[in-house]
Chains A and B, each alone.
Chain A
Amino acid sequence: MALSRSERHELAKGLAFISPWLIGFAAFTVLPIALSAYYSFNDYPMTRPPLYVGTANYVDLLHDSVFGKALFNTLYYAAVALPLAMITALSLAILLNSKVRGQMIYRTLIFLPSLVPAVASALIWLWLYNTKLGLINLLLHRIGISYSPPWLSDTAWAMPALILMSVWSVGNTVVIYLAALQDVPRELLEAAELDGAGVVGRIIHVTLPTISPVIFFNLIMAIIGTLQVFTIPAIMTQGKGSPDRSLYFFTMYLYDAAFRYVRMGQASAMAWVQLLIVLALTGIAFWSSKKWVHYQGK
């Protein structure tokens, strides 16, 4: 259906007003994505024209031990940190949702770490984890544990230390859960209570199904976030992922390949592999959501 003159005029005005965003999106998102797809099939050291190499960048990744290690570290981190953070955030939200004295103070305290910039967090945790002078080992000594774990300087301890640290910043997720928990219909909870359901029963059979769309949303965001982990380990290890690359993650390698080794073609290939992994995992999450996510009115 053809637009009337005034509608065309309105459309033109609307487009003109959103044009800064449209131009920005095209120039800084669509174009780089398209170019990265193109570069992933080229050798591209940025200062020379791209040289077509076919699928060599992708094939090389298959035989690259550092890529394998970075991928393993990332998946390991995601596999442990993601459920740990989800469970911790949900548990804290349920606790904070109960009517206790000082509820606002607890909520503030839980949310506060989320306001600390990632760089500051990394520096704080570097000191907390310090083997000799760190507060954590000091507390361990106080409770009678004389062994001082070398948190960030031993390959066996480094990853658990980072995973433990990821729980520190669940404040944002807690707030989202908290909002969802306030929307759980009181009548459903009361009905379950009348039917003899205890606290745990009410959580499992009423609360969790009701807030399952929010859990699903947080799961998707967490998958994307954990698979792109970069800032904290990069700062804590000065970009090296040491010791013995035990904290070297996918995105760190991608950054090194692009800007330090200047292999932009290989880095682009890595970015596409990363996208495919994220897509696959979110796809699995969407597929499984049919079984456990319940939308109101459906």
Chain B
Amino acid sequence: MKHVKPVFYALLIVPAIVLLAFGPSSVAPVPRGRVIVDYWEKWTGTEGAQMKQIVDDFNNTAGREKNIFVRFVSTADIEQKTLVATAGGVPPDIAGLYDGNLDQYAAMGALMPLDDLAAHADPPITAQTYKPIYWEGCHYKNHLYALISTPADVALHYNVKLMRENAVALRAAGLDPDRPPRSIDELDQYSLALEHRNAQGNLDRAGYLPTVPGWYTNQTFFWFGASIWDAGREKFTLTDPAVLKAFDWVQSYSRRLGAKTITDFKSGLGGFDTPQNEFMAGQVVMEQQGPWMANFIYNQLPAMDGLKPGEIDDPSQPLAKRRARMDWAVAPFPSADPALHEVTYCAFDTLVIPVGARHPKEAFDFIAYINRQDVMEKLCNLHSKNSPLAKVSDAFLNHSKNPYIDVFEKLARSPNARILPQVPIWTEVDDELTNAIDRIALLKATPLEALTQAQERLQKHYDLFAARQRQREAERK
């Protein structure tokens, strides 16, 4: 009996230790002797798998040469997880953040400046490497904090087939069914002519709606030549006449159609990544979208690309031939002032190195690899996006999966290309704008009322943020 207790304890403890030491592990094996670079990325699904392809390419080529192994982890809520891990002192070596996080995280000291690493890369990554708008977006207060994994910009996607089918109505309104609208006024006229109601009088097809899909409604002011942030004075300018005009235009659709008509219509729309997507289903004829739309159409509704069931798109065919069989097309989204050409919002996914990363140099080697022209074009082509780099190959321009990539490329080079205002409280700005637009679109407030309230709140929060930043700086000195 004397030995029963120790044996009992041993039976409990030894298997536990063995399980902990040699039990199942979710971590994939890595080649011995390599420096492991942990890379957390926001993409899941197809886009995540495509990024994994690039990571595998690196691990099998440049990574092998440099003795680096990138461990790819695809995770939701990347920005929050990165922040908490960084605050806890165990950040990943690379994180794939959104453009809207960059200034906030840089201001909070969560990101490593990359200026030196970029300057000493082989070849150096400089302003000349990038298109100017994306290079600007990677900076905060004159320091480089990120490079880009994939970028995008926004353009008008329109349903060519429906335009042709409604040619009579369009012509009756004095509009050309063979081209997209070229100004906001024209967009409104096209929209009206393309609208359709069912026998019960309910809207069953919209020409255009500013809140569908609604991903860029917060940035509507770009197409009105306006800005909501005066960086020099550090003041929000939400109540500037041009900004008010932009959101009054958003509200004009609710006034004309009725707020309930629009919300009822929106509630009947299918999911984005499905063939019931409003644009693919023909419920909305014109929409603001990014270059990835080509991928989703190809995967979800190849018939809209003019492909027979089972037929595969051949990007080696001439662009004109591919475009001719498609039921959709892309053009710059029109602006309020017809003299303001090729306005777009340039969004981008970033690669950053959080402060406290264990292998910043090796992490940057991987980021630099992604920013090689051939690798970047491969990744952007997989995602059906344009390139952030200044140089693009003819093959990329003419034989991309996205037959309209040249439109997106041109827009990204436009002097009227815009990025999000570089405000370190952007998350809050975005939420306030979303709420203000909610009220505007539901006719609960005029643009002036909604934006005045947002302006006051945001300015107060920014001033407090800036004051505390200054106080911290003073204490540090």
Contacts and interface: CB of A to CB of B under 8 A. Distances in A.
A97 to B, nearest CB: 40
A177 B110 CA distance: 51
A130 interface: yes
Interface in B69-104: 80, 83-84, 86-87, 104
A294 interface: no
B472 interface: yes
A46 B84 contact: yes
Contacts of B84: 46, 259
B92 to A, nearest CB: 15
Contacts of B266: 153
Interface in B332-371: 355
A176 B299 CA distance: 50
A42 B80 CA distance: 21
Interface in A33-54: 43, 45-48, 51, 53
Nearest to B260: A150
B83 A243 contact: no
Interface in A254-290: 256, 259-262
B275 to A, nearest CB: 16
Contacts of B15: none
Interface in B243-266: 260, 263-266
Nearest to B269: A132
Interface in B450-477: 453, 457, 464, 468, 471-472, 475
Contacts of A48: 108-109, 472
A229 B441 CA distance: 27
A262 B425 CA distance: 9
A202 interface: no
Most buried by B among A45, A46, A130, A131: A45
B47 interface: no
A18 B366 CA distance: 46
A66 B425 CA distance: 16
A190 interface: no
Contacts of B428: 260-261
Interface residues of A, number: 30
A187 interface: no
Interface string A120-150: 0000000000111110000000000000101
B468 A131 contact: no
A142 B139 CA distance: 58
A130 B267 contact: yes
A245 interface: yes
Interface residues of B, number: 35
A150 to B, nearest CB: 5
A243 B108 contact: no
Contacts of B425: 261
B161 interface: no
Contacts of A45: 108
B6 to A, nearest CB: 13
Contacts of A244: 435, 438-439, 442, 444
B263 A242 contact: no
B83 A43 contact: no
Contact of B263 (A43, A47, A134, A150): A150
Contact of B442 (A60, A131, A240, A243): A243
A10 interface: no
Given A130-B267, A150-B264, A261-B427, A242 B438 contact: yes
B83 A131 contact: no
B67 interface: no
Interface in B424-442: 425, 427-428, 431, 434-435, 438-439, 442
B83 A262 contact: yes
Contact of A154 (B263, B355, B475): B263
A244 B260 CA distance: 15
Contacts of A166: none
Contacts of B268: 130-133
A155 interface: yes
B370 to A, nearest CB: 25
B444 A155 contact: yes
A262 B104 contact: yes
A65 B457 CA distance: 9
A46 to B, nearest CB: 4
Contacts of B108: 45-48, 262
For the complex of A and B, the 5 pairs showing the least CB-CB separation, nearest first, are A132-B268, A46-B87, A153-B263, A131-B267, A47-B110
Interface of A: 43, 45-48, 51, 53, 60, 65-66, 130-134, 148, 150, 153-155, 240, 242-245, 256, 259-262
Interface of B: 80, 83-84, 86-87, 104-105, 108-110, 260, 263-268, 355, 425, 427-428, 431, 434-435, 438-439, 442, 444, 453, 457, 464, 468, 471-472, 475
29 contacts: A45-B108, A46-B84, A46-B86, A46-B87, A46-B108, A47-B86, A47-B87, A47-B108, A47-B110, A47-B355, A51-B472, A53-B468, A130-B267, A131-B268, A132-B267, A133-B267, A153-B267, A154-B263, A154-B442, A155-B444, A240-B431, A240-B435, A242-B438, A243-B442, A244-B444, A245-B435, A260-B80, A260-B427, A260-B428
Given A131-B267, A262-B83, 19 more contacts: A43-B468, A46-B108, A47-B109, A48-B472, A51-B468, A60-B464, A65-B453, A66-B457, A130-B267, A131-B264, A133-B267, A134-B267, A150-B264, A154-B260, A154-B263, A243-B442, A245-B438, A259-B80, A261-B428
